[in-house]
Amino acid sequence: MARDVTDSAPLDTRDALVAWFEQGNKPPDQFRVGTEHEKFGFYRADHAPVPYLGCSGQGGIQAILDGMAAGGVWQPISEGDEIIGLHDPVGGGAISLEPGGQFELSGAPLETIHETVAELREHLAEANRIGSDHDIAFAGLGMSPLWSLAQTPVMPKGRYRIMANYMPKVGTRGLDMMFRTCTVQANVDFASEADMVKKLRVSLALQPIATALFANSPFTEGRPNGLLSARSEIWRDTDTARSGMMAFAFEPGMGFERYVDYALDVPMYFVKRGDRYFDVAGGSFRDLLAGRLAHMPGETATLSDWANHLSTIFPEVRLKRYLEMRGADMGASDMVAALPALFVGLLYDELALDGAWEIVKGWTASDRQMLRDDVPRLALGATVAGRSVLDIAREVVGLAHGGLARRARLDPQGRDETTFLAPLHQIVDRGRTRADDLLDLFNRDWGGTITPVFDACRLS
């Protein structure tokens, strides 16, 4: 999750909320791509999770943040007396902590995937350099493979205390989502409301295909969990009021107003004033907008309230002033690069976008939901509307490849962005996900023990 917004400009009408989204429209020559990824920190000596303050004389998450802040590029974000994140006031990126200590880079909006990869390499080099002083390394997986909820540390962030209290009231897996999962996410732009709707529909329908391609969470608490993307399965019973496939997005009349109405009906978690989080879990943003929120009588909505509320809505594709692709498990560095490459290739090229729409336009809401339900277990082996996910994934990767080739954004060596689709081409050519490969290693080379997964999935 990116850092909270702190703009206190007042909001008092539904039209103002719609206008906020409209301000995301931009001409195609200003389209950018942002990449966010979360990773699990662990101590190399014993594969234990990394708490905020560290343990047994070893530094923890706080020490990593302090070390990065000391470099002069990153500026600290604090809550009370504790550093809980970093931001780059020049480049626009941010580093934040997920509830269980998952270390997240919210990358800057960049022009090319080449720049995204350079950003990723620089970030991992810095995190590993500072981490090595404290015996800390980072693993790229969609779900914590070893630690129970009780063993997982808790980060000192007010919003997470409120969420952790609320989650068990609305689903059985919310705490697992918060504390034991990691994702990689790509953020893309739109030119207009109509462009947003087309891109939202295509990417939402194809999000389970991305989940299958990026499946990388087959272990829980030291053993296989019977799934290929346990992270994706967890979201199926987290909080249905704020997650899922948004069937309404495919209905006539979809646009900014319809999404505003959806977001207004999603229960709130908190209102932030200064550094303090007020627990309003279950409250209505409509009431806050009208100044009648029972939890905070007389308090009215601000721009930051709206932006922060939108960040607590978790559909498979999320609308802000850009679109967030949210279906993928975290993986190795090449897979982190592959996700923005996939969706830039599909969504920033009209031929590819039209081709993707041809694939999905005939799917019904029940088709899309069944696909979403089956993919965590079956991944490339699932089917939809009479076609295998493997077959669709092969076609989708091909469309993205064509889109990136036509985009023709070259690096200094003359290579275009199609190079970053290489791991996805390999997956569809072999018909096997990274999760399948990890399970083979577990059952064969690792002799049924889990700790080698940390070295196998270590990010460098």
User: How do residues 258-298 score in pLDDT, each as one tens digit?
Assistant: 999 999 999 999 999 988 999 999 999 999 999 999 999 99
Q: Cα(68)–Cα(88) distance, rounded to whole angstroms?
A: 11
What pLDDT, on a 0 to 100 scale, did the predictor assign at position 165? Answer: 97
* CB-count exposure of residue 30 (10 Å: 0-12, 13-18, 19+): exposed
Residue 2 pLDDT? 47
Distances (CA, A) of 301 to 8, 177, 178: 9, 28, 26
Lowest mean pLDDT among 57-61, 212-216, 267-271, 422-426: 57-61
pLDDT, tens digit (0-9, with 9 covering 90-100), for 371-404: 999 999 999 999 999 999 999 999 999 999 999 9
Q: Measure the CA–CA gap between 207 and 371, rounded to whole angstroms.
A: 10
Residue 5 pLDDT > 60, yes or no? no
Distance CA 374, CA 372 (A): 6
Alpha carbon 106 to its chain's center: 9
Average pLDDT over residues 161-189: 98
- Provide the token pair at 215: 């499946």
Per DSSP, the residues of 78-113 read: EETTEEEEEE-TTT--EEEE-TT--EEEEPPPBS-H
Query: Tell me, what's the pLDDT at 172?
Result: 98
Instruction: State residue 4's pLDDT score.
Output: 55
Q: Tell whether 229 is covered by a domain.
A: yes
Q: Could you tell me which of 233, 198, 141, 184 has the C-alpha nearest to residue 342?
A: 184
Region 52-69 average pLDDT: 94
Instruction: Count other C-beta atoms under 10 Å from residue 15's C-beta.
Output: 11
Range(s) of the domain holding residue 234: 14-456
Mean pLDDT score, 76-95: 95
Is the distance from CB of 329 to CB of 142 less than 8 angstroms?
A: yes
Cα torsion at 381, 382, 387, 393 (round to 10°)?
Answer: -70
The band of 57, judged by pLDDT with boundaries at 50, 70 and 90, is confident
Provide the total of helices (H) and of strands (E) in the chain, helices listed first.
17, 17
Residue 9 inside a domain? The answer is: no
Q: At what angle do helices 422-430 and 193-213 cross, to 10 degrees?
A: 50
Amino acid present at 349? D
CA distance 154 to 443: 32
More confident residue, 57 or 213: 213
The rounded percent of the chain whose pLDDT value lies above 70 is 99
Buried/exposed code over 417-455 (b: 16+ C-beta within 10 A; e: otherwise)? bbebbebbeebbeeebbbbbebbeebeeeeeeebeebbe
11 — pLDDT class (breaks 50, 70, 90): very high
Is 110 domain-assigned? yes
Question: 290: closest CA among 305, 279, 275, 272?
Answer: 305
- Identify whether 313 is part of a domain: yes
pLDDT value at 3 more than 60 = no
CATH code for position 244: 3.30.590.20
The CA–CA distances, whole Å, from 344 to 148, 262, 418 equal 36, 26, 11
Residue 237 lies in a domain: yes
Instruction: State how many domains the chain has.
Output: 1
Q: Is there a domain that residue 7 lies in?
A: no
Please give the pLDDT value at position 55: 85
Q: What is the pLDDT of residue 7?
A: 73
What span, in angstroms and rounded, lies between the C-alpha atoms of 284 and 303?
A: 16
* Distance of alpha carbon 54 from alpha carbon 65, whole angstroms: 12
Q: For residue 444, give both structure tokens.
A: 């064969």
Kindly state the average pLDDT of the residues 238-257. 98
Has residue 6 been placed in a domain? Answer: no
**Rounded CA separation 83/63 (Å):** 10
Q: pLDDT of 324-371, one tens digit each?
A: 999 999 999 999 999 999 999 999 999 999 999 999 999 999 999 999
Residue 151 lies in a domain: yes
